[in-house]
Structure 1
Amino acid sequence: MGVESAAANRLAITAALLEVGALRFTPAGVPAIDVLLSHRSAQVEAGQVRQVALQLKAVAFGTVAESLGRQPLGVDLDIQGFLTNTRNGKGVVLHVQDFKPI
């Protein structure tokens, strides 16, 4: 089986860094960090403006995890990654593959 197209599951979002967990390491020794993101925006839906506010759990690995862990709380970030289920399957988590402070 080959790798599916990365375009099939891509998320780009602007969000503030709300919480940052401690940098940890996977059993393979890869740095990992769990964060909580906060997003607010106005979106047009069916011709009406809708205020959107949400919190999103996210995780990063490797050098992205190390860099994300050094960001100050409250900083706005342009984030790119993909969504997958949480370990218990009762929600989604964003796997951060790249980010830039705004």
Structure 2
Amino acid sequence: MPSAPPADNCLLIVGQVAGSCETRQSPAGVPISRFLLEHHSGQVEAGISREARCRIPVVACGEALTGIAGSLVAGTRLRVRGFVSRANYREGEYRLVLHAARIEMLDHESSED
């Protein structure tokens, strides 16, 4: 399968961990962690204030990222940077997933949503 041409695909989002993190090993032995990130912020669109909310699944691969993800508990505030791709959720149904390249835990005083 030929690779896709390079293109911009970067998401940076702040939110809270919703639920628990699960970690498994890929068939190749690579550790993979998954958790759900919940985002809530105020945004301005076309000059009008609006509320933005979403939940996005996050996948973290490799020792360094799964080490961070494995210590997460519900409610932990994070800044996650990575790329989005689709994942097969159910037979024939796809969802966007954030593949983390960097996970930064935020202190409780931060208000950068």
Q: Give your verdict on TM over 0.5.
A: yes
Match of 2:41 in 1: 41
For structure 1, which segment, 53-62 or 64-73, has the greater mean C-alpha deviation from structure 2 after superposition? Answer: 64-73
Helix, strand or coil: the match of 1:66? helix
Helix, strand or coil: the match of 1:58? strand
Helix, strand or coil: the match of 1:21? strand
Alignment of 1:98 onto 2:102: yes
> Which runs of 5 or more structure 2 residues have no equivalent in the other structure?
107-113
Helix, strand or coil: the match of 2:65? helix
For structure 1, which segment, 17-26 or 51-60, has the greater mean C-alpha deviation from structure 2 after superposition? Answer: 17-26
TM-score w.r.t. structure 2 length? Answer: 0.80
Partners of 1:78 and 1:21 lie apart in 2 by 16
1:20 is displaced (CA, Å) by 2.7
Q: Is the 8 A contact 2:22 2:35 kept in 1?
A: no
Residue identity over aligned pairs, in percent, reads 31
Partners of 1:22 and 1:46 lie apart in 2 by 39
Partners of 1:100 and 1:81 lie apart in 2 by 12
Deviations 1:25-50 (A, max 9, x none): 00010110110110000010010001
Q: Alignment length, in residue pairs?
A: 101
1:10 is displaced (CA, Å) by 0.4
Deviations 1:36-92 (A, max 9, x none): 110000010010001011111111111202211112220110110000001245220
Q: Is the 8 A contact 1:41 1:52 kept in 2?
A: yes
> Which runs of 5 or more structure 1 residues have no equivalent in the other structure?
none
